[in-house]
């Protein structure tokens, strides 16, 4: 009887082993497939900068840090979320926009961006980051450390700071299941780490994932660009709409 039980247990263990191996192989295959996808990156990246509004209005120097989304990858500079925010802020201010973010940036790449931003002597700073930390598997403790260093430096400036976490990473059609769900869960971890560091310093925070998840999930054709990863024009407009109330409040403070 004991021998029979052992055989049954061994079979169960072997079955779980096969299932686990199969799941790992599937995830690796999906990950490799995703990495091989072509993204419409520009080389060199399109500059996003400009002057907006009436020259008689109060001046506002607006600087944006972050990743490829800050330079509108997936659409044109004029449809990028920094450009849209600057246009809308120009209803009340004479806005000078400078974007120092770049494609592929993670939280580890924010140091040099902070250097450039502070040299511009900004009135308002926006940091949008986290998507690449999700896909590059940056350890969460490093995300926290990188954001702590970044936000400590920015907080010492005279500028108002708005922090924007990553979009929901589990809505992109390029991630097949179960990789899509796992990517979404991983993105939530990165988002929470970034939000925590912003909250510790009393900085304004925008939960981009909560504000845009449903739209990107239910209408990906409308909101994603052709690479199914970066937003398209409609996606960036939605992003800007979610950010704008917090950005405007910071500008008026």
For residue range 53-94, what is the model confidence (pLDDT) as tens digits?
A: 999 999 999 999 999 999 999 999 999 999 999 999 999 999
Q: Kind of pairing, strands 49-52 and 93-99?
A: antiparallel
Residue at token pair 């403070």: 253
Contact between 230 and 40 under an 8 Å Cβ cutoff? The reply is yes
Q: What is the enclosing helix (H) or strand (E) of 3?
A: helix 2-35
CA atoms within 13 A on the CB side of 86: 29
Average pLDDT over residues 128-133: 97
pLDDT at 16 over 70: no
Task: Give every CB contact of residue 193 below 8 A, 6+ residues apart in sequence.
Answer: 140, 143, 144, 147
Q: How many residues does the chain have?
A: 253
pLDDT at 13 over 50: no
Distance of CA 94 to the CA centre of its chain: 27
For residue 46, which of 4, 75, 13, 9 has the smallest C-alpha distance? 75
Average pLDDT over residues 124-139: 97
For residue 62, which of 45, 46, 79, 81 has the smallest C-alpha distance? 81
φ, ψ (nearest 5 deg) of residue 122: -80, 160
pLDDT at 24 over 60: no
Q: What is the enclosing helix (H) or strand (E) of 181?
A: helix 179-200
Give this prediction's pTM: 0.84
* pLDDT band of 235, cuts 50, 70, 90: very high
Q: How far apart are CA 50 and CA 63, in angstroms?
A: 11
pLDDT at 251 over 70: yes
pLDDT at 1 over 90: no
Average pLDDT over residues 210-215: 97
Cα distance from N-terminal residue to C-terminal residue, the chain? 77
Average pLDDT over residues 163-181: 93
Residue 127, helix vs strand vs coil: strand
- Domains of the chain are 49-252 (3.40.50.1110)
Q: How far apart are CA 227 and CA 182, in angstroms?
A: 20
């Amino acid at each position: 009887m004991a021998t029979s039980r052992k055989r049954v247990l061994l079979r169960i263990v072997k079955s779980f082993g096969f299932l686990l191996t199969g799941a790992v192989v599937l995830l690796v295959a999906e990950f490799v497939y995703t990495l091989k996808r072509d993204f419409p990156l520009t080389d060199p990246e399109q500059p996003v900068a400009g002057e907006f509004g009436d020259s008689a209005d109060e001046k506002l120097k607006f600087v944006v840090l972050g990743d490829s989304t800050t330079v509108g990858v997936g659409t044109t500079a004029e449809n990028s979320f920094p450009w849209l925010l600057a246009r809308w802020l120009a209803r009340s201010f004479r806005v000078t926009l400078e974007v120092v973010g770049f494609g592929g940036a993670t939280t580890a790449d924010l140091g040099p961006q902070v250097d450039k931003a502070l040299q511009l002597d900004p009135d308002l700073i926006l940091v949008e980051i986290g998507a690449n930390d999700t896909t590059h598997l940056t350890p969460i403790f490093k995300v926290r450390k990188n954001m702590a260093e970044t936000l400590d430096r920015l907080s010492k400036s005279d500028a108002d700071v708005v922090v924007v976490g990553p979009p929901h990473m589990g809505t992109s059609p390029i991630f097949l299941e179960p990789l899509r769900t796992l990517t979404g869960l991983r993105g939530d971890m990165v988002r929470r780490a970034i939000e925590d560091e912003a909250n510790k310093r009393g900085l304004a925070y925008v939960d981009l994932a909560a504000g845009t998840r449903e739209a990107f999930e239910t209408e990906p054709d409308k909101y994603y660009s052709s690479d199914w990863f970066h937003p398209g024009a409609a996606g960036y407009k939605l992003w800007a709409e979610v950010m704008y109330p917090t950005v405007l409040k910071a500008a008026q403070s």
